[in-house]
Structure 1
């Protein structure tokens, strides 16, 4: 089932999400719905706060980047097969020299800005069966993980922009929270006027 994605301005997007246990109700159904929602919105990542749940879950599937010719054949191969569920994740280390890449977000449709992130990330997480891993990722996969991880810490990519950039997009962000934006997927807007 495709879930509505909550828009910029929703309080859940600014909350630090909580860990879950294997007893979390209907977890496999929730994960299935989140994957369906992400694919329906043509996303490469989706975090639980984006569907209104303040819990530490996010998904990543970088397959759509595999056709991008700006990546080396080796990078394309990695991107084409990277699909993972991250539960109760904790970033242990971010390393390397920061690099810029244009990021967008399903909760902030129509806005893309360059964000600086470190190229290597080491993360501890559990999969959908609560098996624990500690792994290191690089490049675009690391970036998508960092972006989604920020969501479970209540951070949006717009929080990482310069104060000038923030001022320039302030009006657009206000419009998004009111529902004055276009997205080809279902959304919930925190400040949309209720139709009587």
Structure 2
């Protein structure tokens, strides 16, 4: 599948599991694809992530700079937190119409409902992890 961007979490594509993939380079066939299953993390500037690979083997990865920011953004998606959930009300109100217009364009272009709707702000989804009940 051809996509733009440097990261994607399973809930963004309708799969309610704790899985994300990202490549800080952002180009297909360049850089390393990093796949994390059931990641656990705090939100510092640099971080160590404990996760599982696709075969279920545990591993640890150290991230800082842009890779750490990308990971934390994708991790938010795993927790049902959207980028506008972290905005102040003032900032959100100043761009609300633009966000709603983007949602409408997405829906018109794809024929699907927008996966990130401004009217769903603060509503949390509970995702399940691999190997969790």
Shared fold per TM-score greater than 0.5: yes
Corresponding residue for residue 60 of structure 2: 134
The one of 41, 57, 70 aligned to 1:144: 70
Q: How many residues align?
A: 112
CA RMSD, 1 decimal: 2.4
Q: Name the larger-Rg structure.
A: 1
The residue that corresponds to 2:112 in the other structure is: 188
TM-score scaled by length of structure 2:
0.72
* Higher relative contact order (Cα pairs below 8 Å, separated by 6+ residues): 1
Assess if the C-alpha contact under 8 Å between 2:9 and 2:74 holds in 1: yes
1:64 paired residue among 26, 31, 38: 26
Matched, 1:48 2:13: no
- Structure 1 residues 57 and 186, CA, compared in 2 at 3 Å: closer, same or farther? farther
The runs of at least 4 aligned residues of structure 1 exceeding 6 Å deviation read none
- In the other structure, the counterpart of 1:157 is 83
Post-superposition offset of 1:49:
0.7
Bigger strand fraction: 1
Q: For residue 165 of structure 1, give the secondary structure of its aligned residue in structure 2.
A: helix
Unaligned runs of 5+ in 1: 1-35, 66-79, 96-118, 192-196
Return the alpha-carbon distance in structure 1 between the equivalents of residues 83 and 48 of structure 2: 20
TM-score by length of 1: 0.51
- 3-state secondary structure, aligned to 2:105: coil
